Amino acid sequence: MTITPAQQAEIDAQRGETAATRRPTVAALEAVLYQALPVLDRGFIRVIDYMGDDAAVVQAARVSYGKGTRRVSEDRGLIHYLMRHRHSTPFEMCEIKFHVKLPIFVARQWIRHRTANVNEYSARYSILDNEFYVPAPEHLAAQSQANRQGRGAVLAGAEAERVLQLLREDAARAYDHYAEMLNEREDGTPVSSDRQGLARELARMNLSLAFYTQWYWKVDLHNLLHFLSLRADDHAQYEIRAYAEVMLDLVRRWVPLTHEAFEQHKLNAVTFSAGALAAVKRMLAGETVTQETSGLGKREWTELMAALGRDGN
């Protein structure tokens, strides 16, 4: 994780301040508010602000004014019911804002989730830092032969070293050329008075997707959980999953009852199609069901067998 001195000073100043409020706050999330939590080699996630808690979800569902004499077990039961039956509106009453530093190729995956408010660092206005992502050796893998958008066996030996060398050399060369085309220092003065320099909005096109960008990302709890259900999944690309796992822990701190229900009913749950459910019922009735007699396609049959912990052959 890399943080500039200016960013660290801002974090220290923010964490050094306290404010009285009548709004509900969550001590476990307050403990890490503004703090930069490391992700990948140079990235981070920070919680900048949040609104609501588990009680806000319950309040929205009941349209009531306060906790009264309700017990935590009653709130837990209601939140589990809402999650189980896909009543999403009460979860939309909570919001959270993150500051994220991430590789551009991860950002391009992330931005596909269009249910948030985003403001990204502008390379038209500012000069990008010379920071790029290099995978750790254990995440440097070959193309999967079974999954067109996945990874296979981890590279090793001379091939792995050569790939890492190419990644570093290409990124370093690209940034050197970026800086040469800009012909300006961070304060805006030219490096060489003999050249005018290329506009920032054009010079940036030479940089690779491995370079880091930053943004503020604000989202409601329902859409955050949808994001995490896809990006914290084992099938998600490792790099975006690394961010999702940190965010999942922040959700646990922020809304522990909702986190519990989400893990039980969404993240670690399995949904069957009507055809798959019919096949399971036939199995429970003692019938021998094969892929050919199930009415399911090969892929769905394989997924069903994996969910049931059975051999699909």
Question: Where along the chain do its domains lie?
Answer: 1-133+210-269, 274-308
Higher-confidence residue of 312 and 131: namely 131
Catalytic residue among 46, 204, 231, 241: 231
For the chain, what percent of residues have pLDDT higher than 90? 73
pLDDT above 60 for 69: no
235 confidence band (pLDDT: 50, 70, 90): confident
Would you call 231 a catalytic residue per the annotation?
yes
Higher-confidence residue of 147 and 241: namely 241
Q: Tell me, letter by letter, the H, E, C secondary structure of the chain.
A: CCCCHHHHHHHHHHHCCCCCCCCCCCHHHHCCCCCCEEECCCEEEEEEEEECCHHHHHHHHHCCCCCCCCCHHHHHHHHHHHHHCCCCHHHHHCEEEEEEEEEHHHHHHHCCCCCCEEEECCCCCCCCCCCECCCCHHHCEEECCCCCCCEEEECCHHHHHHHHHHHHHHHHHHHHHHHHHHCECCCCCECCCCCCCCCHHHHHHHCCCCEEEEEEEEEEHHHHHHHHHHHCCCCCCHHHHHHHHHHHHHHHHHCHHHHHHHHHHHHCCCCCCHHHHHHHHHHHCCCCCCHHHHCCCHHHHHHHHHHHCCCCC
68 confidence band (pLDDT: 50, 70, 90): low
Q: What is the pLDDT of residues 15-43, one digit of tens each?
A: 988 888 889 899 999 999 999 999 999 99
Fold of 1-133+210-269: Gyrase A; domain 2 (3.30.1360)
When pLDDT is averaged across residues 179-199 and rounded to a whole number, the result is: 84
106 confidence band (pLDDT: 50, 70, 90): very high
pLDDT above 80 for 185: no
Q: What is the pLDDT of residues 261-303, one digit of tens each?
A: 999 999 999 999 999 999 999 999 999 999 999 999 999 999 9
